[in-house]
Structure formats: C-alpha cells, structure tokens
Amino acid sequence: MKVILIRYSEIHLKGNNRGFFENALINNIRHSLADKKYKLVKQSGRYVISEFEESEADSIVETVRNVFGVYSVSLADEVKSDYEEIKKSALAIAPESGTFKVVCNRADKRFPLNSMQLASSIGGDLLENNGKLSVDLHKPQHLVNIDVRENGKTFVFTNSIKGVNGMPVGTGGKGVLLLSGGIDSPVACYMMAKRGMSIRAIHFHSYPFTSLQAKEKVLTLAKILKKYTLHMTVDVVSFTEIQTAIHEKCPEEFMITIMRRFMMRIAERLAKKYGCGAIITGESLGQVASQTLESITSTNAVATLPVLRPLIGFDKDEIIEIAKRIDTFETSILPYEDCCTIFLPKNPVTKPRLDVVKRVESVLDIDALVEQALENVEIIAV
C-alpha cells in the first residue's frame, strides 16, 4: 500500500508547548487537503497519510510539502515486516542506475535481522538484480530507506522531497500585511507565514487613478499566497481622497512619506480591529526613497504595534528569487500601476526629518481622512 510520510521541522525542539504546535500542523495539513480523501495518523514523531487515491499521490505530496512546519515528505510503500515483502518493494522502487545506499531503521527489535544486516542484505539483492547499480556509502546518488516499525509494518522509500520548513501557520500570532501588488510585499507575507504568523492583507487602491485590473492583480496575488497562509482576506481601502488631499496641500517631495504614514495609521487601526499584533511590510533598506532609515523612522513613528520588515536586509535579486519560487513573481510584474506610482514626485525627499514631516502634514485633517477611509473598506475573502 502506498503511504505518504511527513516529517516536521523545528517543532521537535519545543518542550511543553509541543502539543500546541503539533495540533496546529496537523490542522493545517488537513486544511490544505480539504478536497481530498485520505487517512492521516500520527506515528512515532511523524504523520502518515494513507488510503488516498494513488493518482492523487503527487498532488498530495506537492500540497503537503508547501505547508509550513513540514520538513520533508516521502512517498513510501507500506509492507508487512517480512524480509521477502521488503525485498520485493525495494526492488520495485530501486533506481535504474547509479550509486545507492540502503539505510535501515529498525524500531521493532523482534525483526530477525538488525539494521546493518538488513541493509547489507537488501543492498546485495539490489546489486544482484541490476548490474547498472553500485554501492556508495559516502556520497550515494540514491537512498533506499527501510523503516521497520513496531506495529509489524515496514516503510520502504527512496528519496525524500524537501518541505518548506518553518512553523505551522497560526502558532506565531496574527499580523496585517500591506500588500501593494509589487514584488516585495507578497514575499514579506510568505516570510512571516513561514514563521507561523496568520496573515490578513490590506491593499490601498486609488481608482480612478489606478485601474480595477490593479486591484484584481492584488487579489490574484492573495490567492497565490493563500496556498501558504491557508486563509486570506484582503481589506481594500480606497486611498484616492487621501492622496488627492496630500497632493493638493502638502509639498510634493513629501508625498510618499506622508502617504506611507497614512497607510501605517490605517493598517494599525485595522490590525487592532482584527486583533492582530503586528504590521508587515515588504520594505528593504535603501531600495527606494521611502525605504531609507530616515523614511522608515518617519513612517514607523505613527505605529504603536511592531512593524515587521522581513525583507529589510534582502537585495532585490534575493527577493525576486523567492518571488519566483513562491509563484508570485509573474503576477507581480504585470504592468498595472499601483497607488504608489501616481502623483510620483520628481525628487522625493530621501531623508525626511520627523519634525518637518509632522509640520507639513499638519495642514491635513488627518483623523477625518483616516476615519473616512476606514468607513469604506471593502473586505474580500479570497
């Protein structure tokens, strides 16, 4: 019978809270496999999925390896702990050529051969059966794993597929993400979800200055991110009034700084409303004028919640590499303008002083503008 073995990552380091992390992981795996039929049990420090449609095996493996907290996944044969059965299975899954090593783990001490004996004996069988194979105990190209369990069953499998690691989503608190539609913010989302944070997104749009296609693109990104965050809701905030007010009344070079301070205020209000303990942004130090230390200081000053910037030390290339890996890159580079690119000043201030920023924005009725924006939030569950 085919089974899927799931090993988890740092959860095993947890002490008394281990049950909490394990439960979160198992719930998340169940959530991502909601449309599939299968049986999931915990067996000595790992999960075993069985009784699934064999045609769905690859899709289950792919889904599970993307659940945070999963260290690796293997598609295995489950056979009776009987030498002939184990041999038959090992011959069936063995590589066609190259070097290999048999790795045995014998939890059931009643099994007549010990680990070393079983490994060398099965290794011998494989060599005898296929002349194109040879043994390399140090740097083998392939592994043949044999895991003799205490319940009278043995798992036989070749390579393990690496999971995404991290911590189960839901174990790291809740945060709101500023999701722009660019390359960085989806990656920031991924990074925080990887550390177990539950995330909901906020998107600022400026119709008619930006198109509905731009908003649609953000929703598409949110759908892609849902694969990692498991749940995803986007609060779409209309930013047009605020932007036009800033444009009308404040010096052009402060446009972006003041705009980002408004975004932060609105994000904090929404975060508190939803019981979130952090604001997540895709900022990377020095990437653009609004991401210098001085600019970050100015925007940070309006937030009381911690602002998490998981990409702060990343180069653009590194961010793009992750964006490609998590499948958000191709959507992010669609050419619809987001609200950051309109009213773009020719020479944005790169080192805003907080006292100056406060003075120049004081001409605005900040509270009223924030309230008005909060009244018209469109909540979209993707």
Partner 1 sequence: MINYFDNCATTRVDDDVLQILNKFFTEMYFNPSSLNKYSLEVARYIADARSRIANALGASSPSEIVFVSGGTEADNLALLGSPKRKNCNIVVGGAEHSAVYNTAMKLKNSGIDVRFCPVTTDGHTLTEDVAKLVDENTSLVAIMHVNNETGAVNDVKSIVSAVKKINPTALVFSDGVQAVGKIPVNLSNLGVDLYSFSGHKIHASKGTGCLYVRRRVSLNPVLTGGGQESNLRSGTEYVGGIVTLAVAVEKAVASVEEHSRAFNRFKQIIADKLQEIPMCKVNCSKDVSPAIMSVAFAKIKSEVLMHMLENSDIIVGMGSACSSKNKHSRILSAISLDKDYIEGVVRISFSKYNTEEQVRYLAEKLKENVSLLRKTMGVRF
- Closer to partner 1 by Cβ: residue 166 or 182: 182
Contact letters for partner 1, residues 209-238 (x by CB under 8 A): x-xx--------------------------
Query: Which contiguous run of DSSP H or E holds residue 4?
Result: strand 2-8
Report if residue 320 touches partner 1, rule: CB under 8 A. no
User: Please, what is the minimum distance in Å from the beta carbon of residue 302 to partner 1?
Assistant: 25
Tell me: does residue 335 bind partner 1 (CB under 8 A). Answer: yes
Chosen residue from 161, 320, 342, 374 binding partner 1 by CB under 8 A? 342
Q: Which is nearer to partner 1, 57 or 342 (CB)?
A: 342
Residue 208 Cβ vs partner 1, minimum distance, rounded to whole Å: 3
Q: Among 240-248, 257-265, 288-296, 309-317, which window interacts with partner 1 (CB under 8 A)?
A: 240-248
Shortest distance in whole angstroms from residue 343 CB to partner 1: 8
Residue 164: name the closest of 237, 68, 90, 284 by CA. 68
Helix axes 366-375, 255-273, angle to 10 degrees: 50
Taking CB under 8 A as the rule, does residue 337 contact partner 1? yes
Using CB under 8 A as the binding rule, whether residue 347 contacts partner 1 is answered as no
Distance CA 346, CA 92 (A): 66
Phi and psi, residue 297, nearest 5°: -60, -45
Whichever of 116 and 344 has its CB closer to partner 1, that residue is 344
Q: How far is the CB of 344 from partner 1 (least distance, A)?
A: 7
207 is a site residue for partner 1 (CB under 8 A): yes
Alpha helices in 301-375 (DSSP H): 316-325, 329-332, 354-361, 366-375
Q: Dump the DSSP string for 282-319.
A: ---TTSSGGGSHHHHHHHHTT--S-EE-TTTT--HHHH
Kindly state the helix (H) or strand (E) to which residue 237 belongs, with its residue range: strand 233-238
If you search the block for the tokens 């999971």, which residue do you land on?
Answer: 163
CA distances 134 to 122, 131, 137, Å, are: 13, 8, 10
Q: DSSP secondary-structure letter at 159? A: P
131 binds partner 1 (CB under 8 A): no
Nearer to partner 1, 15 or 335 (CB): 335
User: Residue numbers of the site for partner 1 (CB under 8 A)?
Assistant: 207-209, 211-212, 244, 247-248, 335-337, 341-344
